[in-house]
A and B are shown apart, each in its own frame.
Chain A
Amino acid sequence: MRRIPPIGAPRTTGPLVTGPLVTGTVVCAALALTLSACGGDGGGGSDGAASTASLTGRGPITFVTGKDRSGYLQKQLDGWNADHPKESVRVIELPDEPNDQRQQMIQNATTKSDAYTVLNLDVVWTAEFAANRWLTQIPKDKVDLSKMLPATVTTGQYRGNLYAVPSTSDAGMLYYRKDLLAKAGISAPPKTYAEMWSDCDKVQKLPEGKGVDCFFTEVNKTESITISAVEAIGSAGGSIVGADGKPTLNTPQAEQGLEFLVGAKKDGRMPKEAVTLDTEGGRRYFQSGKLLFQRQWPYQYALADKSDGSSKVAGKFAVAQLPGPNGPGVANLGGHNLAISAFAKNKATALDFIRYLTGEQSQRANLLATSQAPTLASLYDDPEMTKKFPYLPVLKQAITNAKPRPVAVKYGDVTAAIQGEVYDAVTGKKSVDQALTDLQGKLGPLTAQ
Chain B
Amino acid sequence: MTGSLPKRVLSYLGLAVVAAYCLAPFYWMAVSAFRRPQDQFDNSIVPTRWSWENFHAVFSGDNGFGRALLNSLVVAGCTTVLTLLIGTFAAYALARLDFRFKNAVLGLIVATTMFPGISQLVPLLKLFTDIKWINTYQAMVLPSLGFALPLSVWLLTAFFRQLPYELEQAAMVDGCTRGQAFRKIIIPLAAPGVFTTAILTFIAAWNEFLIALSMVNKKEMQTATVAISKFTGVSGFDQPFGTQMAAGVIVTVPLIAVVLVFQRRIVAGLTAGGVK
Do any CB atoms of chain A lie under 8 A from CB atoms of chain B in the complex? yes
Q: CB of B246 within 8 A of chain A? A: no
Which one of B8-16, B74-82, B108-116, B253-261 is at the A interface? B74-82
Binary contact track A1-30/B, C-beta < 8 Å → 1, others 0: 100110101011111111001101100100
Which one of A95-103, A346-354, A377-385 is at the B interface? A95-103
Q: Which of A9, A24, A42, A68 contacts B77 (CB 8 A)?
A: A24
Q: Is the pair B214, A40 in contact by a Cβ cutoff of 8 Å?
A: no
Q: Is the pair A11, B177 in contact by a Cβ cutoff of 8 Å?
A: yes
Q: CB of A67 within 8 A of chain B? A: yes
Q: Which of B71, B183, B230 contacts A94 (CB 8 A)?
A: B230
Which one of B26-34, B125-133, B146-154 is at the A interface? B125-133
A-chain residues with CB within 8 Å of residue B237 when the two chains form the complex: 279-280, 283, 297, 299
A-chain residues with CB within 8 Å of residue B37 when the two chains form the complex: 310
**Chain A residue at smallest Cβ distance from B138:** A32
Q: CB of B19 within 8 A of chain A? A: no
Q: Is the pair B232, A69 in contact by a Cβ cutoff of 8 Å?
A: yes
Knowing A13-B179, A96-B229, say if A42 contacts B235 (CB, 8 Å).
Answer: no
How distant is B151 from chain A, measured CB to nearest CB, in Å?
Answer: 18
Q: CB of A449 within 8 A of chain B? A: no
**Chain A residue at smallest Cβ distance from B269:** A20
Interface size class, chain B: 35 or more
Q: Which of A13, A36, A68, A310 contacts B38 (CB 8 A)?
A: A310
Knowing A24-B81, A284-B41, say if A372 contacts B236 (CB, 8 Å).
Answer: yes
**Chain A residue at smallest Cβ distance from B230:** A67
Q: CB of B55 within 8 A of chain A? A: no
Which one of B99-107, B162-170, B216-224 is at the A interface? B216-224
B-chain residues with CB within 8 Å of residue A283 when the two chains form the complex: 237-238
Binary contact track B203-235/A, C-beta < 8 Å → 1, others 0: 000000000011001111100001001111111
A-chain residues with CB within 8 Å of residue B187 when the two chains form the complex: 17
Q: How far is the CA of A128 from the CA of B123 in the complex (A)?
A: 22
A-chain residues with CB within 8 Å of residue B233 when the two chains form the complex: 69
Knowing A13-B177, A71-B61, A71-B62, say if A110 contacts B85 (CB, 8 Å).
Answer: no
Q: CB of B141 within 8 A of chain A? A: yes
Within 8 A of A (CB), among B56-91: 61-62, 71, 74, 77-78, 81-82, 84-85, 88-89
B-chain residues with CB within 8 Å of residue A390 when the two chains form the complex: none
**Chain A residue at smallest Cβ distance from B127:** A111
**Chain A residue at smallest Cβ distance from B63:** A67
Q: CB of A182 within 8 A of chain B? A: no
Knowing A28-B81, A32-B141, A113-B129, say if A92 contacts B235 (CB, 8 Å).
Answer: no
Q: CB of A132 within 8 A of chain B? A: no
Q: Is the pair B78, A28 in contact by a Cβ cutoff of 8 Å?
A: yes
Q: Is the pair A96, B232 in contact by a Cβ cutoff of 8 Å?
A: yes
**Chain B residue at smallest Cβ distance from A116:** B217
- How many A-B residue pairs have C-beta atoms within 8 angstroms? Tell me: 176
B-chain residues with CB within 8 Å of residue A306 when the two chains form the complex: 38
Q: How far is the CA of A35 from the CA of B72 in the complex (A)?
A: 12
Q: CB of B134 within 8 A of chain A? A: yes
Q: How far is the CA of A218 from the CA of B182 in the complex (A)?
A: 63
B-chain residues with CB within 8 Å of residue A68 when the two chains form the complex: 232
**Chain B residue at smallest Cβ distance from A39:** B135
Q: Which of B40, B82, B136, B179 contacts A9 (CB 8 A)?
A: B179
B-chain residues with CB within 8 Å of residue A22 when the two chains form the complex: 85
Q: Which of A40, A45, A74, A371 contacts B133 (CB 8 A)?
A: A40
Knowing A1-B82, A42-B134, A42-B135, say if A100 contacts B125 (CB, 8 Å).
Answer: no
Q: Is the pair B229, A303 in contact by a Cβ cutoff of 8 Å?
A: no
Q: Which of B77, B217, B219 contacts A28 (CB 8 A)?
A: B77
Q: Is the pair A110, B122 in contact by a Cβ cutoff of 8 Å?
A: yes
Q: Which of A7, A111, A371 contacts B126 (CB 8 A)?
A: A111
Q: CB of A308 within 8 A of chain B? A: yes
**Chain B residue at smallest Cβ distance from A301:** B235
Q: How far is the CA of A360 from the CA of B240 in the complex (A)?
A: 30
Q: Is the pair B141, A310 in contact by a Cβ cutoff of 8 Å?
A: no
Q: How far is the CA of A303 from the CA of B182 in the complex (A)?
A: 64
Q: Is the pair B137, A69 in contact by a Cβ cutoff of 8 Å?
A: no
Query: Among the interface residues A66, A67, A283, A284, which one has the most CB atoms of the partner chain B within 10 A?
Result: A67
Q: Which of A5, A25, A42, A371 contacts B81 (CB 8 A)?
A: A25
Q: Is the pair A69, B183 in contact by a Cβ cutoff of 8 Å?
A: no
A-chain residues with CB within 8 Å of residue B217 when the two chains form the complex: 42, 62, 92, 115-116
Query: Among the interface residues B88, B138, B214, which one has the most CB atoms of the partner chain A within 10 A?
Result: B138
**Chain A residue at smallest Cβ distance from B71:** A35
A-chain residues with CB within 8 Å of residue B136 when the two chains form the complex: 32, 36, 39-40
Within 8 A of B (CB), among A21-67: 21-22, 24-25, 28, 31-32, 35-36, 38-45, 62, 66-67
B-chain residues with CB within 8 Å of residue A113 when the two chains form the complex: 129, 134
Q: Is the pair A14, B218 in contact by a Cβ cutoff of 8 Å?
A: no
Q: CB of A93 within 8 A of chain B? A: yes
Q: How far is the CA of A66 from the CA of B238 in the complex (A)?
A: 14
How distant is B267 from chain A, measured CB to nearest CB, in Å?
Answer: 13
Q: Is the pair B230, A95 in contact by a Cβ cutoff of 8 Å?
A: yes
Query: Among the interface residues A17, A66, A69, which one has the most CB atoms of the partner chain B within 10 A?
Result: A17
How distant is A167 from chain B, measured CB to nearest CB, in Å?
Answer: 13
Q: Which of A17, A28, A41 contacts B82 (CB 8 A)?
A: A28
How distant is A330 from chain B, measured CB to nearest CB, in Å?
Answer: 21
Q: How far is the CA of A176 from the CA of B89 in the complex (A)?
A: 68
20 contacts between A and B (CB under 8 A): A7-B179, A9-B179, A11-B177, A12-B177, A14-B180, A17-B88, A24-B77, A24-B81, A35-B137, A36-B135, A40-B136, A66-B230, A94-B230, A97-B229, A107-B121, A111-B122, A113-B129, A283-B237, A309-B38, A310-B39
Give me the 5 closest cross-chain CB pairs, A-B, nearest first.
A310-B38, A42-B134, A39-B135, A24-B81, A28-B78
